[in-house]
Amino acid sequence: MKWRQRAVRIWAYTSLLLIVAIIVFMFAYIFAIGSKSISWQFLTDVPRGGIIGSAGGILPAIVGSLYFTLVACALGAVLGIATAIYLVFYCKSRRVAALMQTAIQGVAGVPSIVLGLFGYTLLVLRMGLGKSILAGGIAQGIMILPFIEVRAEKVMREFPSDLINASYALGVSKLHTIGKIVLPGCKGGLVSGIILGGCYAVGATAPLIFTGAVINSPVPTTMLEPAMALPYHLFMLLTQGTSTENAYGTAFVLMAIVLVSNGLAIFYANRRSKLWK
């Protein structure tokens, strides 16, 4: 038994070190090459050059990605948290709960390119939104909805039931208990889930190809305009052979945004609410 336990331990540690090494190498490689392109002009200028993207900067892509992600997070948070509240506090039927969870898992399993096609058919054509930040953000919001819902449901189910029962015993309504006790107490976990969902959305390309991303555009001023996006801009730079150097610079900025966002998510996840103290 000892040699088996030792073999399993060695296998586990080796796998862990291999995964960490691959991730560190990938990040270090992109940062080492991409950092050479980073400058104030690259971050604040618009794409230029005979072939768009061969010169200039990526400011419209940065702003566009942030707008797409904000719309996605807003939609995913509202629908995801509302669904979690219903499943945890209001749904009494196991069949309904199982059906809703199956539907959520089904949405999570839909390829992002299919969500983009769905968004193009429904939002762009049928609803007349055209290629826009709103249409792209909604498509991405549907994509990250299952992620936020599962996270929110888990956090709410782990909330101390003693606090909830004490509130009910004092005659406080369920809705008031949820709004004044549960949601504030789960704020750290909910915010971290939304941020992680945003990290997933900001790097997604497929949903935006049909719904909102364009090759070149100025900084958007309304949600009904199309916009550039960092992952789509990176895709075009590489596939068209425009500028490998600028492509790595774009990847550097995208990864920096994701790393900072993940850091914020970890901070909020580890931050205890006063109700938990």
* Counted domains in the chain: 1
* Radius of gyration of the chain, Cα coordinates, nearest whole angstrom: 22
- Predicted pLDDT of residue 272: 54
Could you tell me the residue range of the domain that residue 261 belongs to? Answer: 60-276
| Side-chain half-sphere exposure of 198, counting CA atoms within 13 A | 26
pLDDT digits (tens, 9 = 90+) for 193-248: 999 999 999 988 889 999 999 988 888 889 999 999 999 999 888 887 777 888 88
- Whether residue 30 is contained in a domain is answered as no
The whole-angstrom separation of Cα 221 and Cα 26 is 35
Q: Which of 31-45, 70-84, 263-277 has the highest mean pLDDT?
A: 70-84
Q: Percent of the chain beyond pLDDT 70?
A: 97
User: Mean pLDDT over all residues of the chain?
Assistant: 88
Asked whether the predicted pLDDT for residue 186 surpasses 60, the reply is yes
The whole-angstrom separation of Cα 227 and Cα 65 is 8
pLDDT digits (tens, 9 = 90+) for 68-102: 999 999 999 999 999 999 999 998 888 998 999 99
pLDDT band, residue 141 (cuts 50/70/90): very high
pLDDT band, residue 271 (cuts 50/70/90): low
pLDDT band, residue 134 (cuts 50/70/90): very high
- Predicted pLDDT of residue 189: 87
- Assess contact for 249 and 34: CB atoms under 8 A: yes
- Whether residue 36 is contained in a domain is answered as no
- Whether residue 16 is contained in a domain is answered as no
**Number of neighbouring beta carbons within 10 Å of residue 121:** 13
Q: Is the pTM of this model over 0.75?
A: yes
Mean pLDDT of 98-122: 91
- Whether residue 24 is contained in a domain is answered as no
Asked whether the predicted pLDDT for residue 177 surpasses 50, the reply is yes
- Whether residue 21 is contained in a domain is answered as no
Helices and strands (DSSP H and E) totals, the chain: 13, 2
- Whether residue 49 is contained in a domain is answered as no
pLDDT top residue among 30 and 1: 30
**Number of neighbouring beta carbons within 10 Å of residue 65:** 26
- Whether residue 14 is contained in a domain is answered as no
- Whether residue 45 is contained in a domain is answered as no
CATH number at residue 190: 1.10.3720.10
